């Protein structure tokens, strides 16, 4: 049995007919072709599938389509304007915080959620916000510096 969903996706009102038991991750990747959101572990441990749901970072592999009617969803494709990179994206590149890149969309969404909540985060705040995002490549140092640097720059604007 299919249901009709209406919600906001990256700032636009969208509607779709789908199965309520489909994972939000699959809805985004397969139905909306937003493949920036990645699937790593599928069980809520790696953070590659992180998106913003009503301004909070959540794992899209742990949410069912039937749960999101009326909500506001932002994916990695929705954080920047037109062809300009978001400060976080720019800083991740500058700091060498992207290697294979698989964790990057999730990392950036978690960092984005943090900066919405705390524009001037402490080192501890950053660790806390990124604790659910695993990276096999970078060793995290570059990622943390990229977030610190982004916070600094975004507060100046």
Partner 1 sequence: MIHELKLAKPSSLDEVKRILSSENSKIIAGGTDIVPGFHIESVRFKNISSLIDINSIAELKEIKIIENEIQIGSAATFSSIVNSKIISENLPLLAKAASQIGSKQIRNRATIAGNFINNAPCADSIPPLLVYDAEILLESEKEKRRIPLAEFLVSSYKTKIQPNEILTKIIIPNRYMNFHGLFYKLGRRRGVAISRITFAVLVRLENEIVTDFKFASGAITPIGKRFHEIEKTIIGKRVNEIEVKLTSRNIGEEILNITGVRWSTTYKIPVLQQAVYQSIKKLLSGN
Listed in order, strand segments (DSSP E) in 1-156 are 3-9, 12-18, 50-53, 56-59, 72-74
Whichever of 21 and 96 has its CB closer to partner 1, that residue is 21
- In whole angstroms, give the CA distance from residue 20 to residue 152: 41
CA 27 distance to own-chain centroid: 15
What interhelical angle do 87-94 and 104-117 show, nearest 10? 130
- Residue closer to partner 1 by CB (options 60, 89) is 60
State the Cα angle at 52 between 48 and 58, rounded to 5°: 55
Binding to partner 1 (CB under 8 A) within 113-152 occurs at 113, 128-133
Q: Rounded to 5 degrees, what angle do the CA atoms 87, 89, 90 make?
A: 65
Give, as ranges, the residues between 23 and 52 that touch ligand FES (CB under 6 A): 39-42, 44-49
Number of residues that bind partner 1 (CB under 8 A): 33
Is-contact 78 105, C-beta < 8 A? no
Q: Minimum CB separation from partner 1 for residue 5, in Å?
A: 10
Closest separation between CB of residue 87 and partner 1, Å? 20
By DSSP bridging, strand 12-18 and strand 72-74 are: unpaired
String of contacts with ligand FES for each residue 89-118, x by CB under 6 A: ---------xxxxxx---------------
Q: Interface with partner 1 includes 22 (CB under 8 A)?
A: yes
78 is a site residue for ligand FES (CB under 6 A): no
Q: Cα(152)–Cα(154) distance, rounded to whole angstroms?
A: 6
Q: Candidates 43, 81, 82, 157: give the one binding partner 1 (CB under 8 A).
A: 43
| Residue 36 touches partner 1, criterion: CB under 8 A | no
Question: Which residues form the interface with ligand FES (CB under 6 A)?
Answer: 39-42, 44-49, 59, 61, 98-103, 135-138
């Amino acid at each position: 049995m299919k249901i009709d969903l209406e919600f906001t996706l990256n700032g636009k009102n969208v509607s779709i007919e789908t199965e309520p038991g489909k994972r939000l991750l699959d809805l985004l990747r397969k139905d909306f072709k937003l493949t920036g959101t990645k699937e790593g572990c599928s069980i809520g441990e790696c953070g590659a599938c992180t998106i913003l749901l009503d301004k909070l970072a959540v794992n899209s592999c742990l949410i069912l389509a039937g749960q999101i009617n009326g909500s506001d969803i932002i994916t990695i494709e929705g954080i920047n304007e037109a062809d300009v990179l978001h400060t976080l994206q720019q800083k991740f590149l500058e700091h060498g915080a992207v290697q294979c890149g698989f964790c990057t969309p999730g990392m950036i969404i978690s960092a984005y959620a943090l900066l919405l909540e705390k524009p001037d985060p402490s080192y501890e705040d950053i660790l806390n916000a990124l604790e659910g995002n695993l990276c096999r490549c970078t060793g995290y140092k570059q990622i943390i510096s990229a977030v610190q640097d982004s916070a600094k720059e975004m507060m100046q604007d």
